[in-house]
Amino acid sequence: MDRMNVMRRELLLALTLLPASRVRAAAPVLTLTVLAEAFPPLQYETPEGQASGYVYAFVQEMLALVARERALQVGAVQFVPLKRALAQAQTEPQLLLLSVARTPEREDGLVWLREIAPYRLWLYRHRASSVPAPRSLAELKGRGLRFGVQDQSNFEAWLRRQGLGQPGDNSQIEAVRQNALNLRKAQLQRIDLFAHPDVSLAYRAREQGLNPEEFEPVLLIHELSLPLWLACSRGTDVALVQALQRAADSLVAAGRLETLRRQHGLPPLR
């Protein structure tokens, strides 16, 4: 049995079969729902329907530690769009959200546990594109560039805040349902530029049957490159939040986050 399956079995035992004598007798059983947007290699669902990713694995270990302190029931992670997860967090307590950017707009709406992953959003182009690679924001404007975006994404909003695709600018903004579709559109020369996190570009390219080397990062979008966090919804049991923070901190101190990153082929955080 591989390590991931062993961890899942141990977590299930810890959360559902732990004798009452092994947890605080007076503590009620708490439920916790885990929500995440699919984001390889952090957390995602494999073609076989299994949850995977280094953040997912870290959270499983974190929850197993918490279950040693108190009675806890946790269902399988639910992969949902980030917008839906954030909306649920506004009305439902006892939610744990994976890999969320800590933006000023979200600051007061969630309880932030700890930073879990770096995040860098780049503008990409296909290497066969005839459009010169822009090296600054100023070079994006007034050139009639075609931008591929995911519908209602923060990148689309960012472009419009810069005045791109707005009156007086001849840029075109073309929206698709899933950002991964923009890789194929770039290969077919139907768009000039699209935004993508660098950590998942290779995975998404291969998922589309494309060679990641076909795509060139040309401009880092600093404003949207924010570290990702673990967070709980407001109203989540305070003692549980504290237990989650202690467990996460102890695992990071023990080097587990770095180890899991290496196991998923990622460079050290430092």
- What local confidence, expressed as pLDDT, does residue 21 receive? 44
Six token digits for residue 126: 């296909």
- What local confidence, expressed as pLDDT, does residue 44 receive? 96
Residue 56, Cβ density class (10 Å: 0-12 exposed, 13-18 middle, ≥19 buried): buried
Six token digits for residue 95: 């939610």
Whole-model pTM: value is 0.82
- What local confidence, expressed as pLDDT, does residue 20 receive? 41
Q: Distance (Å, rounded) from C-alpha 215 to C-alpha 223?
A: 22
Residue pair 23/82 in contact by the 8 Å Cβ criterion: no
Q: Distance (Å, rounded) from C-alpha 244 to C-alpha 241?
A: 5
- What local confidence, expressed as pLDDT, does residue 183 receive? 97
- What local confidence, expressed as pLDDT, does residue 196 receive? 97
Residue 122, Cβ density class (10 Å: 0-12 exposed, 13-18 middle, ≥19 buried): buried
Q: Distance (Å, rounded) from C-alpha 110 to C-alpha 230?
A: 10
- What local confidence, expressed as pLDDT, does residue 121 receive? 97
Summarised one tens digit per residue, pLDDT across range 237-253 is: 999 999 999 999 999 99
Tell me the one-letter amino acid at 134: P
The verdict on whether omega for the bond into residue 47 sits within 30 degrees of 0, i.e. cis, is no
Summarised one tens digit per residue, pLDDT across range 103-127 is: 888 999 999 999 999 999 999 999 9
- What local confidence, expressed as pLDDT, does residue 27 receive? 65
Residue 39: strand pairing partners: 43
- What local confidence, expressed as pLDDT, does residue 203 receive? 93
Each residue's pLDDT expressed in tens, for the chain with a length of 270 residues:
455 554 555 554 444 444 444 444 556 888 999 999 999 999 999 999 999 999 999 999 999 999 998 899 999 999 999 889 999 999 999 999 999 999 888 999 999 999 999 999 999 999 999 999 998 999 999 999 999 999 888 899 999 999 999 999 999 999 998 899 999 999 999 999 999 999 999 999 999 999 999 999 999 999 999 999 999 999 999 999 999 999 999 999 999 999 999 999 888 876
- What local confidence, expressed as pLDDT, does residue 1 receive? 47
- What local confidence, expressed as pLDDT, does residue 219 receive? 97
Six token digits for residue 247: 């467990």
At residue 262, φ and ψ (nearest 5 deg) are -60, -40
Q: Distance (Å, rounded) from C-alpha 231 to C-alpha 95?
A: 8
